[in-house]
Amino acid sequence: MNATLPARVSALRIKLGQLKDLSSKASEASDLSSLRTDLEQPVQTLAMLVKRQREFEDLGVPTSAPESLGKLRSRAASVRERFRAERTSVTLKKGQAWKAMLAETATATVDVEKSLITAWKEFRSAIFAGDTPAKISGTLAGTQGNIDALDAYRATYDAFNRQFLTLPSDGAVVTRARDLAAELMLIAGRFDYNVEPDVKAFLAAVQAGGAPLSLLTPEVWKWLKDGEGMDAYRVRAAETQ
């Protein structure tokens, strides 16, 4: 019996070693799962926004990628390379790289969402830069034709603005916004402005998508100054093909 004791002790030692290995592997698996959970939701949110950014581009709504997104990509590539070299949770948690990546993910998410909002607002200005119904009403002659046109313009303008209260959910919203912008330009062509000829030409051009600088005659300048309208218009470079 004593002769078998060393063998039993040896077997027990091996068994304990195996249990230790299993325990270590279970602990490692738990640590990796916890890290994965920390990253899962933030990454899903960011991925959804980046997907929408690509959809914007496909729909003809120009966007720009924030600097923080490029910074995050570099950080993620660095963390990934370190983990490939040594696939342990300790590798991921070593130093500040993991915490920094989580923080940069949050920053990039906010920045991408802001860039989408900005892009959508700029798209609005690009497809229609005409005046508000309130501003137009003060320059129109009091004819029945103008009253009818202004009513149609106001209803279409309100519908156009509603498209931009939130980010578009699909391409149909972008198409609808473009259609309403075109409709506003057509309605604006029906207006009979109760102003001097040069001012009428300027206002008609603004409603049609933009007035060239050549229409800013002394008469127009005077009308803008007298009506305190100098800050109501903005110079914007024309798009070139």
Q: Tell me, yes or no, whether 121 and 36 share the same domain.
A: yes
Q: Identify the residue with better confidence: 193 or 67.
A: 67
Do 57 and 142 share a domain, yes or no? no
Q: Are 128 and 184 in contact (CB under 8 A)?
A: yes
The answer on 103 and 37 residing in a single domain is yes
The verdict on 206 and 121 lying in the same domain is no
Q: Does a structural domain hold residue 22?
A: no
Q: What is the pLDDT of residue 12?
A: 47
Same domain, 137 and 110: no
What number is the average pLDDT over the span 1-22? Answer: 52
Q: What is the DSSP string of 102-121?
A: HHHHHHHHHHHHHHHHHHHH
The pLDDT score that the predictor gives to residue 126 is 92
- pLDDT single digits (tens) 43-78: 889 899 999 999 999 999 999 999 998 898 888 888
Collect all residues with Cβ–Cβ distance below 8 Å to 151 and sequence separation of at least 6.
none
Q: Could you tell me where the DSSP H helices lie in the chain?
A: 5-58, 67-85, 89-93, 97-127, 133-137, 144-162, 171-188, 197-207, 218-226
Q: What is the pLDDT of residues 106-157, one digit of tens each?
A: 999 999 999 999 999 999 999 998 899 998 988 888 789 999 999 999 999 9
Let me know whether 58 and 140 are in one domain. no
**11 inside domain:** no
Is 3 within the bounds of a domain? no
* Shared-domain flag, residues 115 and 195: no
The pLDDT-based confidence of 22 (bands split at 50, 70, 90) is low
Specify the number of domains making up the chain.
Answer: 2
Does 222 have pLDDT greater than 60? Answer: yes
Q: Is residue 86 part of a domain?
A: yes
Do 120 and 35 share a domain, yes or no?
Answer: yes
The DSSP symbol for 187 reads: H
| Token couple for 106 | 């949050």
Most confident of 11-15, 27-31, 95-99, 171-175: 171-175
Mark whether 134 and 121 lie in a shared domain: no
**110 and 164 both lie in a single domain:** no
Q: Is residue 25 part of a domain?
A: no
160 with 89, same domain?
Answer: no
Question: Residue 115: what pLDDT?
Answer: 96
Q: What is the pLDDT of residue 224?
A: 74
Amino acid identity for residue 189 in this structure: G
Which residue, 141, 167, 133, is CA-closest to 63? 167
Q: Is residue 70 part of a domain?
A: yes
- Domain presence at residue 15: no
Residue 152 resides in a domain: yes
Domain finish residue from 99, 125, 151: 125
Asked if 133 and 219 sit in the same domain, the reply is yes
Specify the pLDDT at position 241. 45
Domain boundary among 125, 141, 156: 125
* Cα–Cα distance list, 192 to 33, 131, 154, 199, 227 (Å): 69, 15, 16, 12, 18
Q: Domain boundary residue among 125, 145, 161?
A: 125
Domain that holds residue 109: 30-125
